[in-house]
Amino acid sequence: MSEPENIVEIKHATIAQADNIILSGVNLEIKEGEFIYLIGRTGSGKSSLMKTLYGEIKLKSGEGSVCGYDLVSMKRNQVPFLRRKIGIVFQDFELLMDRTVEDNLFFVMKATGWRDKKKMEIRKDEVLDDVGLKTKGFKMPHELSGGERQRVSIARALINEPELILADEPTGNLDPKTTEDILSLLHGISQQGIPVVMATHDYIYMKKFSSRVLICENGKLVSQSEVDDIIQFTELG
């Protein structure tokens, strides 16, 4: 059995916005199939790290690659191609509220180069089935619960068979039972080989779905092997 490949490799990197250094000395490897929690106080660098991974922020120094793209030498016109290999899930869903669930998915497919209508229909059905919404494609977003809308967001992130999922506080607006369901869904996706990085404040569920933890703290990225030592961070803002 072959070793899982590194989807993300960052070495001795500095992450900055303008001249403001956010994180320094960043070393990070993310392998196929990993599920990783990203935690830290507000303003500690979680969002900046996420933005670096999907090409919004260039590395100020060091080395880095994501899904085969070099974060240092990558040109702006290559960023959309990197993002097609990454599925991004947001806290507030960011769905098109004037379109049905399936039209939200078709919109993404058309924007990323899909043209064959039969293949688009097949892929739409696959991802809705993956997230447990096979019968909800005709619904408008306002007709869905918050958990269902987040499932649509996850389906959208899966459309182009990504090599990496970045989930930025995906359960921040959800009730406890729905939060558990969404976490279970994201864990299941990672077990299919797609690594998931999830920024979160839901520490109580990190125990239930134990996994590797990254902590942004004091301008550094600290890696923990598991969640058992995270209790001290439960008061993070």
Q: For residue range 65-94, what is the model confidence (pLDDT) as tens digits?
A: 999 999 999 999 999 999 999 999 987 778
The answer on pLDDT for 106 being more than 60 is: yes
- Give every strand in the sheet of 86-90, ordered side by side: 86-90, 164-168, 196-199, 35-40, 212-217, 220-224
Query: What global pTM score does this model have?
Result: 0.91
The average pLDDT across 196-201 equals 91
Cα–Cα distance for residue pair 68/27, rounded to 1 Å = 17
Residue 42 covered by a domain: yes
Establish if 71 belongs to a structural domain.
Answer: no
- Is residue 160 pLDDT above 60, yes or no? yes
> Residue 174: inside a domain, yes or no?
yes
Q: What is the pLDDT of residue 42?
A: 85
| Residue 24 forms part of a structural domain | no
**Inside any domain, residue 26:** no
Residue 154 lies in a domain: yes
- Flag whether 148 is in a domain: yes
- Which residue range is the domain that position 103 belongs to? 33-56+82-228
Give residue 235's pLDDT.
47
Quote the mean pLDDT of the chain: 90
pLDDT(63) > 80: yes
Number of domains composing the chain = 1
Encoded tokens for 84: 């097609």
Per-residue pLDDT at 237: 45
pLDDT mean over 166-171: 92
Any idea what the CATH number is for the domain that residue 183 is in?
3.40.50.300
Question: Is residue 236 over pLDDT 50?
Answer: no
Is residue 237 in a domain?
Answer: no
What pLDDT does residue 226 have?
Answer: 58
Q: How high is the pLDDT of residue 10?
A: 96
